[in-house]
């Protein structure tokens, strides 16, 4: 049937071609025309898919808390949410990216991680909660640029977090078990958020735009919320793993001259993801083999006196800093077992590590010091 159809199409093109054109030229002209139509249809499909997702998001929010959606219809479309300001300070975040970024080995590189403690503090002030209903932005998925498209999942997840806070303060009644019945909406919204953040980190702009700080704020607030994080991670764990791998790859492969401030923002996001115990364990399991593999490559290059990758050597310190920070948090929380983040990775990392440190300590003292500090944290967790 397919061969007959192709043959019939070929005869139709030959018989209908205008005078002065060859069959080949006319076929190419028809192909271009059809491709333009396909592009138009693809754009229409994307718009319709965005509208379907918006309706599903509103329906899900309505199922969780009908009163919240009813009150939101009365609020101004230009209102701004308070959620982003509670979690991350956009001013300080942007000012970091404005710096020229020539100091990666400074301990102040992770000073801003102190803001992550804000994610664990919940506001129970009823008077403040009542005003949140008036400040939540409406859902809007029809944006023209990639940067603006990130605001669509951010707005939906912000509203989900607002319902959580209002229900916690006794202002609203909410049934979050509805999240289990609609995995598509949660997964799609989180995928758009993570993909949008990855696009920015691959080609960052300075200073950091407000949509980035809001996106990171919503992401961290969501995964550190005790009631919502389990629902989200259950459906989006693989996507979160992919996101973490992408951020690690960005750190390792970036070779731009003035890259350190951009990579610092990436490393801070990774460290903030480690505030969630489940994500912390999987992140440690991803970082250990990367650091170990580079240590082995550096030792091999040192033994044969060959040239090593100086750019990757500079970038690996960011991974070491993240790993040390995560392991410190791990050892401070006695309720978390050290075996949860992958015994095999830990054993492979520690295998003959003392010999590697011994051989590298003279030529690469700072990197050897980081390896030693990480090994001490791993051994201390093992003794517990």
Examine the domain organization and report whether 271 and 284 are in the same domain: no
Assigned domain for 88 exists: no
Assigned domain for 301 exists: yes
Contact yes or no for 105/366 (Cβ under 8 A): yes
Q: How many helices (H) and strands (E) does the chain have?
A: 17, 0
What would the two tokens of residue 69 be? 């959606």
Assigned domain for 197 exists: yes
What would the two tokens of residue 125 be? 């002030």
Examine the domain organization and report whether 49 and 177 are in the same domain: yes
Q: Which pLDDT score, from 0 to 100, does residue 115 have?
A: 33
Helix axes 90-98, 210-224, angle to 10 degrees: 120
Contact yes or no for 193/215 (Cβ under 8 A): yes
Q: Which of 150, 153, 178, 147 is nearest to 68 (CA)?
A: 178
Burial level of 192, CB count in 10 A (0-12/13-18/19+)?
A: buried
Examine the domain organization and report whether 329 and 367 are in the same domain: yes
Contacts of 316 (CB under 8 A, 6+ apart): 252, 290, 291, 294, 367
Examine the domain organization and report whether 176 and 57 are in the same domain: yes
Examine the domain organization and report whether 161 and 265 are in the same domain: yes
Q: Which pLDDT score, from 0 to 100, does residue 71 have?
A: 63
What would the two tokens of residue 81 be? 């949410």
Q: Which pLDDT score, from 0 to 100, does residue 239 have?
A: 93
Q: Which pLDDT score, from 0 to 100, does residue 143 have?
A: 44
Assigned domain for 81 exists: no
Examine the domain organization and report whether 301 and 268 are in the same domain: no
Examine the domain organization and report whether 149 and 47 are in the same domain: yes
Examine the domain organization and report whether 209 and 243 are in the same domain: yes
Q: Which pLDDT score, from 0 to 100, does residue 210 have?
A: 80
Assigned domain for 258 exists: yes
Examine the domain organization and report whether 51 and 155 are in the same domain: yes
Domain boundary among 255, 275, 295: 275
Domain boundary among 248, 275, 302: 275
Low-confidence residues of the chain: pLDDT under 70: 38-39, 69-149, 333-342, 381-384
Q: Which pLDDT score, from 0 to 100, does residue 171 have?
A: 83
C-alpha Rg value of the chain to the nearest Å: 26
If one counts every other C-beta atom within 10 angstroms of the C-beta of residue 239, the result is 17
Examine the domain organization and report whether 251 and 374 are in the same domain: no
Assigned domain for 376 exists: yes
Domain boundary among 275, 295, 315: 275
Examine the domain organization and report whether 184 and 204 are in the same domain: yes
Distance CA 384, CA 382 (A): 5
| Parent domain of 361 | 280-333+340-383
Distance CA 166, CA 130 (A): 8
What would the two tokens of residue 75 be? 């609020």
Assigned domain for 222 exists: yes
> pTM, whole model, 2 decimals?
0.70
Distance CA 278, CA 135 (A): 32
Q: Which pLDDT score, from 0 to 100, does residue 294 have?
A: 95
Distance CA 240, CA 182 (A): 18
Distance CA 237, CA 103 (A): 34
Tell me the pLDDT tens digit for each residue of 252-261: 998 888 888 8
Examine the domain organization and report whether 268 and 327 are in the same domain: no
Distance CA 345, CA 372 (A): 16
Report the number of distinct structural domains present in the chain: 2
Assigned domain for 348 exists: yes
Q: Which pLDDT score, from 0 to 100, does residue 193 have?
A: 93
Q: Which pLDDT score, from 0 to 100, does residue 381 have?
A: 62
């Amino acid at each position: 049937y397919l061969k007959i159809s192709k043959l019939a199409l070929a005869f139709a093109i030959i018989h209908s071609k205008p005078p002065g054109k060859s069959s080949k030229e006319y076929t190419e002209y028809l192909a271009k025309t059809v491709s333009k139509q396909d592009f138009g249809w693809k754009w229409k499909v994307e718009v319709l898919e965005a509208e379907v997702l918006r309706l599903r998001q509103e329906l899900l929010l309505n199922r969780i808390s009908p009163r919240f959606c009813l009150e939101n219809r009365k609020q101004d479309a230009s209102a701004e949410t308070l959620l982003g300001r509670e979690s991350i300070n956009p001013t300080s975040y942007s000012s970091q990216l404005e710096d020229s970024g020539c100091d990666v080995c400074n301990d102040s590189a992770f000073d801003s991680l102190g803001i992550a403690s804000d994610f664990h503090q919940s506001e129970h002030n009823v008077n403040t909660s009542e005003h949140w209903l008036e400040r939540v932005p409406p859902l809007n998925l029809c944006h023209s640029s990639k940067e603006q498209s990130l605001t669509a999942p951010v707005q939906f997840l912000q509203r989900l977090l607002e319902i959580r806070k209002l229900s916690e303060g006794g202002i609203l009644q909410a049934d979050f078990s509805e999240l289990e019945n609609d995995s598509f909406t949660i997964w799609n919204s989180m995928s758009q958020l993570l993909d949008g953040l990855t696009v920015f980190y691959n080609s960052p702009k300075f200073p950091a735009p407000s949509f980035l700080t809001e996106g990171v704020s919503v992401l961290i607030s969501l995964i550190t919320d005790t009631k919502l994080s389990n629902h989200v991670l259950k459906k989006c764990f693989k996507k979160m793993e992919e996101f973490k791998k992408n951020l690690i790859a960005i750190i390792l492969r970036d070779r731009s001259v003035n890259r350190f401030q951009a990579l610092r923002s990436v490393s801070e996001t990774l460290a903030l993801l480690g505030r969630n115990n489940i994500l912390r364990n999987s992140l440690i399991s991803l970082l250990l083999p990367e650091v170990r593999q580079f240590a082995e490559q550096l030792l091999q290059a040192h033994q044969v006196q060959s040239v090593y990758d100086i750019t990757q050597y500079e970038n690996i310190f960011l991974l070491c800093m993240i790993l040390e920070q995560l392991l410190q948090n791990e050892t401070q929380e006695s309720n978390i077992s050290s075996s949860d983040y992958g015994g095999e990775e830990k054993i492979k990392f520690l295998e003959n590590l003392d010999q590697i440190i011994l051989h590298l300590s003279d030529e690469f003292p700072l990197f050897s010091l980081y390896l030693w500090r990480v090994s001490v944290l791993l051994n201390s967790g093992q003794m517990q």
